[in-house]
Amino acid sequence: MALTPGTRLGPYEVLTQIGVGGMGEVYRATDTKLKRQVAIKVLPASVAGDAERLARFQREAEVLAALNHPNIAAIHGLEESDGIKALVMELVEGPTLADRIAHGAIPIDEALPIAKQIAEALEAAHEQGIIHRDLKPANIKVRADGTVKVLDFGLAKAVAGAAPEGAAYVHEDGVRRADLQVRHPASQAPTITTPAMMTGAGMILGTAAYMSPEQARGKAVDKRADIWAFGAVLFEMLSGTRPFDGEDVAETLGAVIHKEPVWSRLPATTPVSVRAVLQRCLQKEPRQRLRDIGDVRLALEGAFETAASLVTTTTSRWRGQLPWMAALSVAAALVAALAVPALRYVRQMLPPEMRVEITTPPTDVPLQFALSPDGRFLVFVAPGEGSPRLWLRPLDQTEVRPLAGTEGASNPFWSPDSRSIGFFAAGKLLRLDLTGGAPQALAIATAASSNGSWGADGTILFARQLAGPLSRVAAAGGEPSVLTQLDPPRVMGHRAPQFLPDGRHFLFYALGTPEAAGLYLGSLDGGVPTRLTAADSGGAFLPPDQVVFVRQGTLVARRLDLASATLVGDPVLLADRVGVDANARGGFAVSGAGAVAYRAGGGASRQLTWFDRPGTAVGTAGEPDANDLRFPEISPDGRRVAMTRTVQGNADVWLLDLVRGGMARLTFDAARDVDPVWSPDGTRVAFSSNRTGTFDLYMKPSNGSGTEERLVNSPNTKQPQDWSPDGRWLVYYEVHPTSGRDLWVLDMAATDHAARVVANTSSEEVLAAFSPDGRWVAYQTNESGRFEVVVQPFPDTGSKWQVSTGGGVAPRWRADGQEIYFLAPDATLMAVSTTAAGGSFEAGTPAALFPTRIVDGGTVANNRPQYAVARDGRFLINQPVGDATASPIMLLMNWTPEAKR
């Protein structure tokens, strides 16, 4: 029954009701003898009316009254009046912890003092053999002075008495739910505290979201159940969400028993030591859980901090720069020696490392994936309805879904709040908000094969050109501005930017000479970037202080000291055989929550495959190649194929003999020698090399003899495209700092190899091919906003005709000049008839020949085409072998460098 104001229970005068809890109604009252305010908790009828249970409660209350601790709400006694039996308790002012969490997650420096006081309360009770059994935020109050008071200690057991095993429990609607097939003794049953539940035999105890698995199964519990509940409460404090939750009791209990918490919900700034405590508290098997809450308290108080600093570096909050570690002195070494037992203890507390496989649909670009900063989602590129696009995979589900409007997408990256995705498509940088709507174009970005990074202040970093500096643009769009400066001839390109958590500093990769290329640290504030280390890929930040990157095919981590702008310590292995693409994108991704995703093997092997006009595979050229094989070019006599091939990070020109078989290396420089083009007589091969810093044009006899000749020397990057049939003109593109790639030709008949322009606009002009009679040049341009194939006369310029419709790249001529082939955006090989008379040119309607699985698809503006056309009309296509996803993405959790050391 409800008590009205003025009701007297012995010396206590009721003032007002202040709550309804799982143990009964709670009132504020005045102790008229001692002139103090107290809390009166009226016992449920199921206890007050049962003599045996009441006697048991009396005995338990006597034990509880013996507890005397500043963090435990005291029990003053039992009172009875007019058949009402009530427990008199200390009145604790202030909000409950549940009220505080309702306003959001609690910062780590505020949460830890609260957690330590809760642990002290549990420790004091456990020492007296008392288990709380119903620890939850609603049973914890935080006074205005910061003092924590834990309420209802031991009452779950006291109220329970000898309730029968398998008693049904009451759901939120007040109905007894035996049909849910969850059996609990009353002392351990799940509670949803609503007024409907405060009824006789329907009374239940405990709270489902904080119950340990053994408690949820109805088994006997000990103090380790409180340790579990403590972990659940601390998790909720830090994340603002429960570690185990559901729409009803049954679903919640199922999560407790079978599911793991979503650890990525913890803030990225959560110290490793705190994560370790949480994960050891929330071990489902009691034997694997921490055995003593005192150990938890010591860890939270930093008792092992000196020792732990030798095995882990923690940070309570990102404050603009990473914590730096002073050099260890002789005294510190002595401390370390004395701390060996603590070291062993901290290592035991670290959660076990976990690696989980994530399968994705087949994709020809297996390195293009990204983890959301909160660690909840994976986005990746894979085909969909004939065109590459973005797919989204929630990590707590097995289903994936395509993202509308992302056809032709490449290189996705996330916004800091995990609500939007940036990507590249059709020569533009775009963003897609996951809340809905079409993608928004932010800027022209010709370097579609580079990737971007989204900072906390709304700045996006990206590379506008394949060989150029990094630019910045607002996440709302606008005119990009150049951020970094190149250092020719040492450095000719910046790419793969990644912001650090402070939003001001960022990592990026620099292309250049061997001594200058590698991983750099830059700042939005400007200044000269700092080279951190030689590397094969860009880097990513792994909290709390590690930088992850690929070096010689191995994914490694090193600690970043931001104050000195250096990487310290030896590299620590994360995974083997992690690939890197031609644009320094490594096959890995890192979330701000601390998870690492990677794909071992770097994707499928490549195979040069012959196709006839209907699209039937009619043979192969060479063997499947696990190396990065690119840009095949058939020799004029049809006996050899030149290509770019990267072996152990070194790119060179290689020649495949189609008659005798076998592969031979043509160039041997330690720099990148790429993009070969045959002379019309087949005696020479032109290529591009950055052996002096900038990619310049070179030439070498195709039989391997003689010396290599440098054809031109200028500060801008150049890549050869084609050689005119008469051997006089070598067409190439040159990267201009403002206009991007433009087409030029070298006069190979002139002693000085004089250059003249072919196409030079503010748009991109690239992948040029001479007609068989040398009178026309086909190339692709994004003048219309997307890449299309056009034809213009040569050597005269001015007029041009568009050949493709609906997008097109990588044009090639048929041997008789009466047809042009190109790739549609969905990688379908297209053909269009051509007619030329005098200075006039006419193109027919493009017709689809067959879909391809060509490397890089039909949407990426590469240096050279990934297919070639033989004189007999067959197509030699560079394509992956089998499914590129034969190697799944691995999700690495709970990794620490200390565990590896």
Question: What is the pLDDT at residue 791?
Answer: 96
- How distant is the alpha carbon of residue 708 from its chain centre? 44
From the number of C-beta atoms within 10 Å of its C-beta (0-12, 13-18, 19+), residue 874 rates as: middle
Q: How large is the average pLDDT for residues 738-754?
A: 87
- Of residues 228 and 163, more confidently modeled: 228
pLDDT beyond 80 at 407: yes
**What is the distance between the alpha carbons of residues 766 and 490, in angstroms, rounded to a whole number?**
25
Is 499 in contact with 702 (CB distance < 8 Å)? no
**d(C-alpha 351, C-alpha 312), whole Å:** 13
Mean pLDDT of 144-158: 76
Q: What is the pLDDT of residues 614-640, one digit of tens each?
A: 999 999 999 888 777 889 999 999 999
Q: What is the rounded CA–CA span in Å between residue 344 and residue 621?
A: 57
Question: What proportion of the chain, given as a percentage, has pLDDT over 70?
Answer: 82
Mean pLDDT of the chain: 81
Across 239-243, 366-370, 551-555, 894-898, least confident range = 894-898
d(CA 889, CA 367): 9
Strands (E), 476-634: 481-482, 491-499, 505-512, 518-523, 530-533, 540-542, 546-551, 554-561, 566-576, 588-590, 596-599, 606-611, 617-625, 628-634
Helix axes 223-239, 108-127, angle to 10 degrees: 170
Q: How far is CA 544 from CA 51, 277, 501, 506, in A?
A: 58, 16, 10, 15
Q: How confident is the model at residue 858 (pLDDT cuts 50, 70, 90)?
A: low
Residue 708: CA count within 13 A, CB half-sphere:
18
What is the Cα–Cα distance from 673 to 687, expressed in whole angstroms?
7
Question: Looking at the predicted structure, is the pLDDT value of residue 555 above 90?
Answer: yes
How far is CA 392 from each of CA 274, 381, 594, rounded to the nearest angstrom?
31, 9, 20
Tokens in use for 893? 């959790």
The SS3 call for residue 453 is strand
785 pLDDT more than 50 = yes
Whether residue 279 has pLDDT greater than 50: yes
Side chain identity at 415, as an amino acid letter? Answer: S
Q: Is the model's pLDDT at 231 over the cut of 60? A: yes
pLDDT band at 486; cut points 50, 70, 90:
confident
Spell out a b/e string for 263-277, using b for 16 or more CB atoms within 10 Å of the CB, else e.
bbbbbbbbbbbbbbb
Mean pLDDT of the 148-162 span: 64
Task: Let me know if 796 is a catalytic residue.
Answer: no
Question: CA 228, CA 348: separation in Å to the nearest integer?
Answer: 17
Cα 304 to Cα 117, 270, 324, 802, 895: the distances in Å are 18, 17, 19, 71, 20
pLDDT in tens, 704-726: 988 899 998 777 888 999 999 99
What's 107's DSSP letter? P
pLDDT 10s digits, 793-819: 998 877 899 999 988 999 999 999 999
What pLDDT is stored for residue 419 in this prediction?
93
For 57-93, write each residue's pLDDT tens digit: 676 677 677 788 999 988 888 888 877 888 888 898 8
For residues 328 and 129, which has the higher predicted lDDT (pLDDT)?
129
Q: Exposed, middle or buried by CB within 10 Å (0-12, 13-18, 19+), for 258?
A: exposed
What DSSP string describes 714-746? -SS-EEEEEE-TTS-EEEEEEEETTTEEEEEEE
Cis before 795 (ω within 30): yes
- Of 162-166, 365-369, 529-533, 841-845, the poorest mean pLDDT is in 162-166
Residue entry with tokens 């052996």:
691
For the record, the structure tokens of 306 come out as 């000196």
How far is CA 897 from each of CA 30, 445, 543, 705, 889, rounded to the nearest angstrom?
Answer: 58, 37, 11, 50, 21
pLDDT band at 17 (very low <50, low <70, confident <90, very high): confident
Q: Is the pLDDT of residue 870 over 70?
A: yes
Q: How far apart are CA 625 and CA 822, in angstroms?
A: 25
pLDDT at 465: 67
Q: pLDDT tens-digit profile of 95-112?
A: 889 989 998 899 988 999
Q: Which residues pair with 629 in a beta bridge?
A: 645
Tell me the per-residue pLDDT of 452-476, one tens digit each, with 9 for 90 and over: 999 989 999 998 766 678 999 999 9
- What's the predicted TM-score (pTM) here? 0.54
pLDDT, tens digit (0-9, with 9 covering 90-100), for 304-336: 443 333 333 333 323 232 222 222 233 333 333
Q: Are 483 and 473 in contact (CB under 8 A)?
A: no
Q: What pLDDT is stored for residue 56 in this prediction? A: 64
Q: Measure CA 807 to chain center.
A: 32
Strand order of the β-sheet with 453-454 is 453-454, 459-463, 470-474, 481-482
Mean pLDDT for 139-152 is: 89
* Half-sphere exposure at residue 554, Cβ-oriented, CA atoms within 13 angstroms: 10
CA dihedral of 144, 148, 154, 156, whole degrees rounded to 10: 60
Which three-class secondary structure state does DSSP give residue 519?
strand
Least confidently predicted of 191-205, 253-267, 501-515: 191-205
641 token code pair: 């194929």
Tell me the C-alpha distance between 375 and 297, whole Å.
28
Average pLDDT over residues 107-133: 90
The alpha carbon dihedral of 748, 749, 755, 756 has a sign of negative
Q: Which residue among 82, 109, 134, 673 is the active-site one?
A: 134
Distance between CA atoms of 588 and 351, rounded to whole angstroms?
Answer: 22
**What pLDDT is attached to residue 493?**
79
Cα dihedral 727, 788, 409, 450 in deg (nearest 10): 40
**CA-to-CA dists, residue 63 to 46, 56, 128, 131, angstroms:** 21, 11, 8, 11
Assess whether pLDDT exceeds 80 at residue 611: yes
* 3-class SS of residue 101: helix
Hey, which residues does 573 pair with through a beta bridge? 556
Q: What is the pLDDT of residue 837?
A: 81
* 797: its two tokens: 């310029």
* pLDDT tens string 414-463: 999 999 999 988 778 999 999 888 999 998 775 545 689 999 899 999 98
